[in-house]
Amino acid sequence: MPATDATPSLNERLVLWRGKPEYQAVADRMAAAMAPAVLDDCLRLWDILAALSADPDMHLAAAVYLCPAVLDGGFTLKPEQIRLLDGLNASGKVWQIYRQQNRIGGSEGLRRLLLALILDLRVLIILLAWQLLQMRKAAASNDADRLFLANLTADIHAPLANRLGIWQLKWELEDLAFRIMQPEQYQSIARQLHEKRGLRERYIEKVIRDISEAVSQAGLRADVAGRPKHIYSIWKKMQRKQLDFDALYDIRAVRVLVDDIGACYSVLGIVHQLWTPIPGEFDDYIAQPKSNNYQSLHTAVLGPDGLGLEVQIRTRKMHEHAEMGVAAHWRYKEGGKAQGEFEKKIAQMRQLLENSRGDDAALMAGIGTELIEDRKYLLTPKGEVLDLPHGATVLDFAYHVHTDVGHRCRGAKVNGRIVPLEYQPHSGDRIEIMTGKAGVPKRDWLQASNGYLASSRARDKVRAYFFRLDRQRNLEDGRELLDKELRRIGLVQSDLKPVLDKLKFPDRDELCIALALGDISPGQVSRTVHELQQPATVPAPQKKTVSAGKPATRGDLTVEGVGNLLTQLARCCQPVPGDDITGYLTKTKGVSIHRSSCASLAYLLQNHPERRLPVNWGSREDGKYEVSVLIRAYDRKWLLKDLTNIIAQANVNIAGVNTLSQGGATAELKMNLKVSDFGQLSALLGKLDAVPGVLEARRCG
């Protein structure tokens, strides 16, 4: 898509756009808001976008990107237009990082970051068109910034144009960048071509006609296409194969697509009948595919006028695989390595471009659903881009940098702000890991409920560290974790034999070792204990001494076999849904509901066993139950603030707080909390226990 020399005047070009109803209002605002030089740039950009079948939204976004004052005319942007502008503005972060680091090559991470920051494929088209315009201007000037633009184009824009299959942008971007970066090599190759690009294109058109006629006469169906090699491509091949210009036979090349493998070899025979093959220049990648499964027949012949010509022959399926799959052309041309999910996204982009011709509505629908990035791209302090899965925390980032950095991680800064280890950064964030001297990870990092690690890779590194410890130390640490969890939720006296059977551990020691290595979490153990303590789902036969009246209910409690009774939760043990409970019939206050393991209940039933009543939890959704929690911690500034923030984030109400200083460095707090069920209480206790300075957080009673 080269620029033309016969360019209409500025006013003439503006009149042409004003003559199109969908562009008239924007063109009027551009004329009023833009200086002549900016207006000229904008109209040139619009011309490039029009050649790429861009829609009016893209033209508007491009105009506002160049001159925000265009919006002063009272335009109300639609959500899709805002999304385009947000993507264009977000791309500035990538250019800034590139300039700061003076990156020359190896910018795959920045390309990925750019794709992660934009939510609309059309943003890439606008950026590529704008870069092409800047490169055309830079090639014709001696601007001091032209080398930066050329390097940026070669590292970011040209590879993206290649992957998107926008070939008319790709070759011109590469040639312009090459012309600025290595002017002597560019001019040398240009002089040796002996022909202008237009002549080469006409030569290829003749070759296509000759092959198409011969294949048709043979009764075969084939698609023949060609594109003359551009100067950068010629230089790249000379470097890769260590050849002089005269030794190249593929300055001109065509590609033939057929239905099946048999037709590939038939077309090969036809080509060799038309022109003389060049010895040593035939490669059969169908019989012997490349390591990346690339398949095709490559041959070089002396074509019309005795000029060298390369012909590639493959099936349509092979072509689709080469263009979209593991053998994608860009991979061996750019020398990069691909990753599956990233390749999937690029393939989806290519498909959107190819399938959208004549159906803009389908394209917009595809853009909204396909371009959902499942990775996040984060920056190190030096500007290196690392990609992690969505949900990854700053601790995951530390382990991604290096295992030792993860082990020693004690804090992190995101964009200069200190954050907790479980903080989940966003694409484009710059992360600095703060490390300690000792490289010792914490076992709490393996508990999923604490939210420290999201990636299996990081968890495996932590597990590997603890696995290397001797068995006795793992056993001791596991026992401590188990006792701490049971004490935390008030289940110290629970029988673990049924738990061992259900979790398939031969004895308590093996369970403790599994806890220490992170193979099973303390939360899983406590939940299993609770599940096993629940009453059987099949009701036992009613005793004859119990009347079968209507059950008495208290919203979320049911007293079996007895009607119209008042119920209340016992203050001594404060049961919550999920606890195994038992009712005790009092003399004046109805049925008192206790945890089945409550010591006060056991004492009462020793004297009056006949007052035991079977009760169970109902299903009231808005129930809140008061429970007492004991917290012991080092007495420090902002301790109460940190604790209440954690409680508020868990959507738990605080009914009361009593604090008691221990006279030294520690303090004890007793908090009355209103929780929905045992699961919410257990998760909250885990988060409170992880607050810096907290020694213990457990349930009272």
Q: At 265, is the pLDDT very low, low, confident or very high (cuts 50, 70, 90)?
A: very high
Spatial contact of 113 and 156, defined as CB atoms under 8 Å apart: no
Of 555 and 214, the one with more pLDDT = 214
Spatial contact of 292 and 331, defined as CB atoms under 8 Å apart: yes
Per-residue burial over 268-305, b if 16 or more Cβ lie within 10 Å, else e, is bebbeebbeeeeeeeeebbeeeeeeebbbbbbbbebee
Q: At 257, is the pLDDT very low, low, confident or very high (cuts 50, 70, 90)?
A: very high
Least confident of 98-112, 273-287, 680-694: 98-112
Same domain, 263 and 143: no
pLDDT value for 554: 46
| Highest-scoring range by mean pLDDT, 199-208, 255-264, 436-445 | 255-264
pLDDT tens-digit readout, 322-331: 554 322 333 4
Does residue 308 belong to any structural domain of this protein? yes
Same domain, 452 and 509: no
Which tokens sit at 74?
């009272």
CA 209 to CA 224: how far, in whole Å? 9
pLDDT value for 206: 92
pLDDT value for 271: 95
Secondary structure element (H or E) that encloses residue 459, with its range: helix 456-467
Same domain, 169 and 121: yes
Secondary structure element (H or E) that encloses residue 685, with its range: helix 678-689
Instruction: Assess whether pLDDT exceeds 80 at residue 548.
Output: no
pLDDT value for 586: 84
Spatial contact of 475 and 513, defined as CB atoms under 8 Å apart: yes
Of 269 and 196, the one with more pLDDT = 269
DSSP string, 489-521: TT-TT---HHHHHHHT-SSHHHHHHHHHHTSS-
Spatial contact of 263 and 297, defined as CB atoms under 8 Å apart: no
Q: How many CB atoms lie within 10 A of CB 199?
A: 12
Sign of the dihedral through C-alpha 690, 692, 696, 699: negative
pLDDT tens-digit readout, 131-188: 999 999 888 777 778 888 898 888 888 888 877 767 678 888 999 999 999 988 888 8
Phi, psi (degrees; rounded to nearest 5) at 322 = -65, -35
Phi, psi (degrees; rounded to nearest 5) at 659 = -110, 145
Q: At 546, is the pLDDT very low, low, confident or very high (cuts 50, 70, 90)?
A: very low
Q: How many CB atoms lie within 10 A of CB 2?
A: 12
pLDDT value for 159: 83
Q: At 220, is the pLDDT very low, low, confident or very high (cuts 50, 70, 90)?
A: very high
pLDDT value for 262: 92
pLDDT value for 537: 44
Q: Provide the residue range defining the domain that includes 423.
A: 375-465
> Among candidates 92, 79, 154, which has minimal Cα distance to 120?
79
Q: At 399, is the pLDDT very low, low, confident or very high (cuts 50, 70, 90)?
A: very high
What average pLDDT does this structure show over 335-348? 53
Does residue 477 belong to any structural domain of this protein? yes
Phi, psi (degrees; rounded to nearest 5) at 199 = -65, -40
Does residue 511 belong to any structural domain of this protein? yes
Average pLDDT, the chain: 78
Same domain, 23 and 135: yes
Instruction: Assess whether pLDDT exceeds 80 at residue 246.
Output: no
Spatial contact of 403 and 385, defined as CB atoms under 8 Å apart: no
pLDDT tens-digit readout, 583-603: 888 877 778 888 887 878 887
Instruction: Assess whether pLDDT exceeds 80 at residue 333.
Output: no
CA 97 to CA 383: how far, in whole Å? 6
Same domain, 156 and 37: yes
Same domain, 119 and 75: yes
DSSP string, 96-122: HHHHHHT--S--HHHHHHHHHH-S-HH
DSSP string, 134-198: HHHHHHTS--TTHHHHHHHIIIIIHHHHHHHT-HHHHHHHHHHHHHHH-HHHHHHHHHHT-S-HH
Spatial contact of 375 and 112, defined as CB atoms under 8 Å apart: yes
What average pLDDT does this structure show over 351-377? 48
Q: At 130, is the pLDDT very low, low, confident or very high (cuts 50, 70, 90)?
A: very high
Same domain, 44 and 122: yes
Same domain, 403 and 310: no
DSSP string, 579-606: B-EEEEE-SSS-EEEEETT-HHHHHHHH
Share of the chain above pLDDT 90, in %: 15
Same domain, 300 and 209: yes
> Among candidates 567, 554, 633, which has minimal Cα distance to 594?
567
pLDDT tens-digit readout, 302-327: 989 888 889 999 998 888 765 543 22
Does residue 547 belong to any structural domain of this protein? no
Last residue of a domain, one of 568, 597, 617: 617
Of 488 and 540, the one with more pLDDT = 488
What average pLDDT does this structure show over 484-509? 78
Same domain, 157 and 301: no
Instruction: Assess whether pLDDT exceeds 80 at residue 289.
Output: yes
Spatial contact of 625 and 574, defined as CB atoms under 8 Å apart: yes
Which tokens sit at 402?
């290096």
Which tokens sit at 400?
């991604």
Spatial contact of 274 and 213, defined as CB atoms under 8 Å apart: no
Same domain, 414 and 502: no
Q: Look-up: residue for tokens 């200069």?
A: 416
Of 56 and 195, the one with more pLDDT = 56
pLDDT value for 467: 80
CATH number at residue 328: 3.30.460.10
Reported as half-sphere exposure (CB side, CA atoms, 13 A), residue 306 has a value of 0
Which tokens sit at 668?
């004890």
Q: At 102, is the pLDDT very low, low, confident or very high (cuts 50, 70, 90)?
A: low
List the Cα angle 651/652/656 in 5-degree steps: 150
Q: How many CB atoms lie within 10 A of CB 492?
A: 12
pLDDT value for 113: 76
Share of the chain above pLDDT 70, in %: 79
Does residue 82 belong to any structural domain of this protein? yes
CATH number at residue 141: 1.10.3210.10
CB contact set of 47 (below 8 Å; sequence gap of 6+): 13
Helices (H), 221-370: 231-241, 261-274, 316-324, 329-334, 340-355, 360-370
pLDDT tens-digit readout, 413-428: 998 899 989 899 988 8
Instruction: Assess whether pLDDT exceeds 80 at residue 60.
Output: yes
Phi, psi (degrees; rounded to nearest 5) at 310 = -100, 140
Same domain, 149 and 39: yes
Sign of the dihedral through C-alpha 661, 667, 670, 675: positive
Does residue 369 belong to any structural domain of this protein? no
Which tokens sit at 198?
């237009």
Q: How many CB atoms lie within 10 A of CB 132?
A: 25
Strands ordered across the beta sheet of 694-699: 653-661, 666-675, 625-634, 694-699
Last residue of a domain, one of 115, 147, 181: 181
pTM value is 0.54
Last residue of a domain, one of 181, 209, 237: 181
pLDDT tens-digit readout, 624-658: 778 888 898 888 888 888 888 888 888 888 888 88
Instruction: Assess whether pLDDT exceeds 80 at residue 662.
Output: no
Domain total of the chain: 6
Does residue 673 belong to any structural domain of this protein? yes
Does residue 364 belong to any structural domain of this protein? no
pLDDT value for 434: 92
Provide the CA 628 distance to its chain's centre, in angstroms.
41
